[in-house]
């Protein structure tokens, strides 16, 4: 390892943002906080993106590592010990200056601080703690902070950091314990889940205080297998938060897609149990970019599975906002998503017995299951039909994507066109709609370029 001490801030920023970029989470959502006299910053629950990089990913936070020195040798990681790269570290002051100066120019919504493990998990977590304390207390920063928990760090440090950050995340990295053992010899499932549970309990404990334990659900005992009973009902803190909240924007995690053999069903099942039993706010999926040479990994230069990642995000959305369960979307027999159809359409086409659905009478949860209708438009439909019957023209103005939805709905008993409720027929029509988009995602070529050698019509 070449550790270089006296680099300029420019050089450090280049190295330590380059080393941080494979972590996908860059959202600033989950917490509303007003500004305060004498401080700088506020936070918006919906999150705010500030720019979009050349890869189309949102830039919301200053995403950097504290250091890219690392004692671990995780095979998939660009910062693994055995890679011959330049190593350096920021000082806490440098991180604070960059954050504040970027923030006041409206470049960013806050800081996303992660780190390699330089000497020990505790030493690393302590550096992070010192930095956040300086940023919050001396620099008076009141904006968003997302911080990585370091697996293996002591519970006291995790807790102390949790009171300074808005969101904390520990990356699960791989959906199965075996995969993790194979690719990250220095980490274990337990070392990741333990702090995750601690953070959950911290958040939970705070809610208990605020709600007097009303409508609270039990914290489940630590389990190695993450199969969980279905518990419904979300909590809404009823009282104002205490002055310093513990991880108010909740925790998130990330899984790498395509580095190992795990299928979509495994990934999605793990995500589902994380939402249910660990109260996670978000699970992120990161298409593996093959940069490291290793016999256990896809060959260097293998294309990152972007379309697969996209499908997982779509399905994740269905779990969180549309009332779907993982087992409705996939099964042991059908463990991977249809590459050509989005998971919602795919589900609808395999369950045509529920369709067509009458817009003017269907219950809200059924409206949500119609391809082309989102949460917002479903809500608007329910409100609007109280005063008048809705027709296709009004659905369009409400924001329903009719070119997708019209195969599955009726308005006042009539379909929009003379279409058949037939699996093959609808599949073909929708594939035509989506073909272009899907190819662009994975192959990054325009449709025009593609049609030159497009053979789909000959199939």
Residues at the contact surface with another protein, assessed by CB under 8 A: 9-10, 13-14, 17-18, 20-22, 34-42, 48-59, 62-63, 98, 101-102, 104-107, 143, 287, 289, 303-304, 306, 380-381, 383-390, 394, 397-398, 440, 444, 446
Q: Among residues 389 and 420, whose Cβ is nearest to another protein?
A: 389
Q: Among residues 131 and 198, whose Cβ is nearest to another protein?
A: 131
Instruction: Report the nearest approach of another protein to the CB of residue 40 (Å).
Output: 6
Q: Among residues 229 and 301, whose Cβ is nearest to another protein?
A: 301
Q: Among residues 101 and 223, whose Cβ is nearest to another protein?
A: 101
Instruction: Report the nearest approach of another protein to the CB of residue 141 (Å).
Output: 11
Instruction: Report the nearest approach of another protein to the CB of residue 284 (Å).
Output: 14
Instruction: Report the nearest approach of another protein to the CB of residue 258 (Å).
Output: 12
Q: Among residues 61 and 196, whose Cβ is nearest to another protein?
A: 61
Instruction: Report the nearest approach of another protein to the CB of residue 250 (Å).
Output: 22
Q: Among residues 335 and 399, whose Cβ is nearest to another protein?
A: 399
In degrees, rounded to 5, the angle at the alpha carbon of residue 53 between the alpha carbons of residues 59 and 437 is 110
Instruction: Report the nearest approach of another protein to the CB of residue 54 (Å).
Output: 4
């Amino acid at each position: 390892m070449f550790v270089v001490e006296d680099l300029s801030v420019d050089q450090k920023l280049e190295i330590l943002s380059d080393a941080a970029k494979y972590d996908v989470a860059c959202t600033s959502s989950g917490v509303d906080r007003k500004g305060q006299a004498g401080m700088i910053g506020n936070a918006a629950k919906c999150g705010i993106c500030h720019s979009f990089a050349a890869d189309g990913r949102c830039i919301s936070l200053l995403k950097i590592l504290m250091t890219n020195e690392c004692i671990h040798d995780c095979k998939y990681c660009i910062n693994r010990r055995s890679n011959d790269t330049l190593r350096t570290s920021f000082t806490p002051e440098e991180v604070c200056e960059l954050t504040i100066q970027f923030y006041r120019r409206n470049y960013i919504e806050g800081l996303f601080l992660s780190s390699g493990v330089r000497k020990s998990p505790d030493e690393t977590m302590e550096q992070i703690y010192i930095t956040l304390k300086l940023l919050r207390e001396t620099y008076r920063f009141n904006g968003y902070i997302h911080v990585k928990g370091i697996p293996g760090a002591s519970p006291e440090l995790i807790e102390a950091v949790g009171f300074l950050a808005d969101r904390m995340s520990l990356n699960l990295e791989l959906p199965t314990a075996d995969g993790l053992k194979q690719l990250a010899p220095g980490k274990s499932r337990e070392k990741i889940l333990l702090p995750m549970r601690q953070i959950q309990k911290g958040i939970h404990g705070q809610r208990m205080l605020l709600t007097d334990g009303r409508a609270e659900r039990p914290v489940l005992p630590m389990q190695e297998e993450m199969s969980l009973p279905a518990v419904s009902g979300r909590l809404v803190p009823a009282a104002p938060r205490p002055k310093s909240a513990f991880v108010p924007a909740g925790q998130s995690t990330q899984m790498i897609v395509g580095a190992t053999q795990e299928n979509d069903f495994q990934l999605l099942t793990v995500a589902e149990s994380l939402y249910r039993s660990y109260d996670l706010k978000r699970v992120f999926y990161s298409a593996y970019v093959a940069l490291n040479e290793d016999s256990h990994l896809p060959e260097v230069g293998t294309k990152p599975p972007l379309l697969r990642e996209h499908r997982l995000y779509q399905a994740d959305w269905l779990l969180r906002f549309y009332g779907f369960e993982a087992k409705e979307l996939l099964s042991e027999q059908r463990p991977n998503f249809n590459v050509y159809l989005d998971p919602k359409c795919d589900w609808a086409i395999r369950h045509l017995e529920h369709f067509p659905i009458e817009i003017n009478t269907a219950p809200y949860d059924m409206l949500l299951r119609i391809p082309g209708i989102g949460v917002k438009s479903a809500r608007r439909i329910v409100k609007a039909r109280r005063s008048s019957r809705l027709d296709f023209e009004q659905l369009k103005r409400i924001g329903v994507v009719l070119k997708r939805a019209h195969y599955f709905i009726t308005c006042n008993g009539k379909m929009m066109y003379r279409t058949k409720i037939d699996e093959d027929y609808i599949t073909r029509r929708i594939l035509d709609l989506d073909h272009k988009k899907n190819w662009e995602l994975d192959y990054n070529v325009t449709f025009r370029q593609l049609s030159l050698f497009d053979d789909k019509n000959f199939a």
